[in-house]
Amino acid sequence: MPAQIIDGKAIAETVRNQVAAETQRLIRDTGIVPHLAAVLVGNDPASEVYVRNKERACQKAGLRSTLHRLSTATTQADLLELIAALNHDMSVHGILVQLPLPKHLDSTQILDAILPTKDVDAFHPENTGLMLQGRPRFVPCTPAGVMKMLEVSKVPTAGRHAVVIGRSDIVGKPMAALLVQKGIDATVTICHSRTADIGAVCRTADILIAAVGIPEFVKGDMLKPGAVVIDVGINRVNERLVGDVDFVAACAVASAITPVPGGVGPMTIAMLLLNTLKSARMMHRLS
């Protein structure tokens, strides 16, 4: 039987509708409008699309969004100054600096400068630490989206072997941290470019999460029959978007799989809205 398709677009829409309803209630009861400030430096075409989609999603859900566009020539000091201003602006609840930044800028210093209570991307080490200890303030949007998909799709996790391919700070590492937390209880392996016989490791996965950034890296023969496959990859190949998984081959082996596009991508934006709403509530000490 071909794999069930986990419809990220539909799940994301449910989350966005929930955020829209709760935002409407917050505005009605308190007058507070959740506000995301996005910062885009330079004109990387993919980043332009991502930021536009985030802005559009905010507007549709009734959140306020402000885009700060800076030229490629922006200095580290200029960007730090803007972040300090956004940190102090009481009307701003979430700050997002779109990555990647131009090469001459120090991303780590920039991300560390964001006030942790406005860090809706959850990239600040304080938020990473809180999540790792199982008391999250914000959860990074892509891994949070994957967890939501597993939950909604009723994928059993306790005692299952989850294999994460990729060890990035944005996806791989937080993904592993979430899967191993109490209540989720997966047994987690992280694979990376130096992992020996990665195919053999992947074939032991009940849940395989591909976040490696290589088009169709995961082949059908790297999957255990019946595995649940989550494809985090968004790769542009000849103007076409492809994931990190060979989708057609995987469909014949997996029990469930996320498509690209229409899988994890829409979830990331939905979880960003959720984090921004949460931030607005927390700033005003509402539960």
Query: Which H or E run includes 236?
Result: strand 235-237
CB-CB contact of 63 with 273 (8 Å): yes
- Would you state the structure tokens that stand for residue 155, as one six-digit string? 């994928």
How far from the centroid of its chain's Cα atoms is residue 36's Cα? Answer: 16
CB closer to ligand GUN out of 218 and 267: 267
Instruction: State which of residues 57, 96, 101, 228 lies at the interface with ligand GUN (CB under 6 A).
Output: 96
Length of the chain: 287
Instruction: Give the range of 29-37, 92-100, 145-153, 223-231 binding ligand GUN by CB under 6 A.
Output: 92-100
Determine the Cα–Cα distance for residues 169 and 124; give it in Å rounded to an integer. Answer: 10
Interaction mask 135-154, ligand GUN, x per CB under 6 A: ------xx------------
DSSP per-residue codes, 94-148: EEEE-SSPPTTS-HHHHHHHS-GGG-TT--SHHHHHHHHTT--SS--HHHHHHHH
Determine which one of 7, 9, 44, 54 is catalytic: 54
> Considering 119, 121, 231, 246, which one is annotated as catalytic?
121
241 scored as a contact of ligand GUN (CB under 6 A): no
As beta bridge partners, residue 165 has 191, 210
Q: Which of 6, 86, 97, 250 binds ligand GUN (CB under 6 A)?
A: 97
Among 99, 132, 241, 282, binds ligand GUN (CB under 6 A): 99
Does residue 54 have an active-site annotation? yes
Nearer to ligand GUN, 53 or 187 (CB): 53
Which residues are the active-site residues? 54, 98, 121
Q: Which residues bind ligand GUN (CB under 6 A)?
A: 96-99, 121, 141-142, 170, 268
